[in-house]
Amino acid sequence: MPATAAADDSATALPAGTSAAQSSFSTGVHAGSHDSAAAPILSIRDLSVAFDTGEGGVLTAVDGVSLDVPRGGVLGVVGESGSGKSVTALSITRLLPQPSGRVTGGEIWFEGEDLARVPLERLREIRGNRIGMVFQEPMTALNPSHRVGRQLAEAVLLHRRCGAAAARERALELLAQVGIPAPAERLDAYPHQLSGGMRQRVVIAIALACDPDLLICDEPTTALDVTIQAQILDLLRELRRRRNLSVVLITHDLGVIAENATDVAVMYAGRVVERAPAPELFARPLHAYTRALLRAVPKLDGVPKTPLFSIEGRVPPLSELRAGCRFAPRSGLAHTEAQLVARPPWVEVAPAHWVEQCPVCAPVPAISPAPPAGRRGR
């Protein structure tokens, strides 16, 4: 590396026995509770996304997904790698890899506009302006050949009528807001001269440059140590409180979800298998996959040297997906052939608690039937 990397962000002291996830969003799930009667800021309905793989044909990566992002709240999206979380997030602003990826069905309603169908010119006005995105890996999200200040100012210049000097001043202000020490010095640094934690803060600053209404965070703490993870999550909590942000938080970490999210969607093999308010989902997980994910979380009070639980097998590749219950091969539960070929209905089993009602993986009675096509998940 041509320059010495800057020192990591200062550590945040944690109480003994407290995980980074537990320390973050310290006010807990209920601090972000929202008015359930308020219209969601983002409503995804029956979203399907496919990729043209050439000789492998067209493969569906997201299959009929429906999600609501509460206004001023946090929607946590959880699931293993390959579940379709990141593809769903990229679909919202149509940032899918081109030319292979495309939205093949469904609606993405954001403040009265269907982002799946608005002209590209209009979409460019929205993304980076009203919808900010924190990408998964800060080192690849930042351009290594440009200084940090230039990359921050670019977002401002694209969406605000101001000169270069005003954009640079805004960039300096943003670095200070996300807690980067000596922001005037960091403004002229290259990404490789910053620590992982500082790079992630820069990515968050770029996403917030134009005061968006919705922030999409795709695994914002990936590859960071637990202390820096706690700092980044605490920063997001504070920014959300200060700006009244609505957030989509994608992560593998159920501890992060439990402490941060007001609502949770559990994804598996391109589908949402369960969705509920966070307290309800953690108190009463109904789908076999949700229960398996929770069982796999290490317990601080567990018996020492007890083998950790893991879900057998892996998420199936797109070419092997079946129409029926997709968790069946890994569930350890016997399914009939009919249950493997017919898609389970999407039903409400408690107020705001929806589940893919496989008779084996989620044998629960519905309080309301599956909605008609085009309105799944309401």
Look at the block and give the residue holding tokens 């199936």.
316
Pairing of strands 214-218, 246-251: parallel
Task: Say which residues have a Cβ less than 8 Å from residue 12's Cβ, sequence separation at least 6.
Answer: 23, 227, 230, 231, 234
C-alpha span between 135 and 378 (Å, rounded): 28
DSSP state of 44: E
Q: Is residue 152 part of a domain?
A: yes
Tell me the β-bridge partners of 60.
Answer: 50
- Write down the pLDDT at residue 12: 31
131-165 burial, b at 16+ Cβ within 10 Å, e below that, comes to bbbbbbebeebbeeeebbbbbbbbbbbebeeeeee
Paired tokens of 268 = 């598996």
Q: Is residue 94 part of a domain?
A: no
- Write down the pLDDT at residue 21: 35
Task: Say which residues have a Cβ less than 8 Å from residue 214's Cβ, sequence separation at least 6.
Answer: 41, 42, 69, 110, 130, 131, 132, 245, 246, 247, 248
Q: Is residue 193 part of a domain?
A: yes
Q: Note down the domain range covering 151.
A: 138-209
- Write down the pLDDT at residue 354: 96
Q: Is residue 199 part of a domain?
A: yes
Nearest to 104 by CA among 64, 70, 164: 64
Q: Is residue 155 part of a domain?
A: yes
- Write down the pLDDT at residue 16: 32
Nearest to 219 by CA among 333, 136, 105: 136
pTM: 0.84
DSSP state of 262: S
User: pLDDT digit string (tens) for 38-81?
Assistant: 789 999 999 999 999 988 899 999 999 999 999 999 999 999 99
Look at the block and give the residue holding tokens 């026995």.
17
Q: Is residue 172 part of a domain?
A: yes
Q: Are 329 and 286 in contact (CB under 8 A)?
A: no
- Write down the pLDDT at residue 371: 65
Into how many domains does the chain fold? Answer: 1
User: pLDDT digit string (tens) for 91-133?
Assistant: 999 999 989 999 999 999 999 999 999 999 999 999 999 999 9
Angle between helical axes of 196-207 and 148-159 (0-180°, round to 10) = 10
Q: Is residue 246 part of a domain?
A: no
Q: Is residue 241 part of a domain?
A: no
Return averaged pLDDT per consecutive 10 residues of the chain, 378 residues in all: 38 33 33 55 96 91 95 94 94 93 96 94 93 85 92 90 91 90 93 90 91 93 80 87 91 90 96 97 96 90 84 92 95 95 94 95 85 51
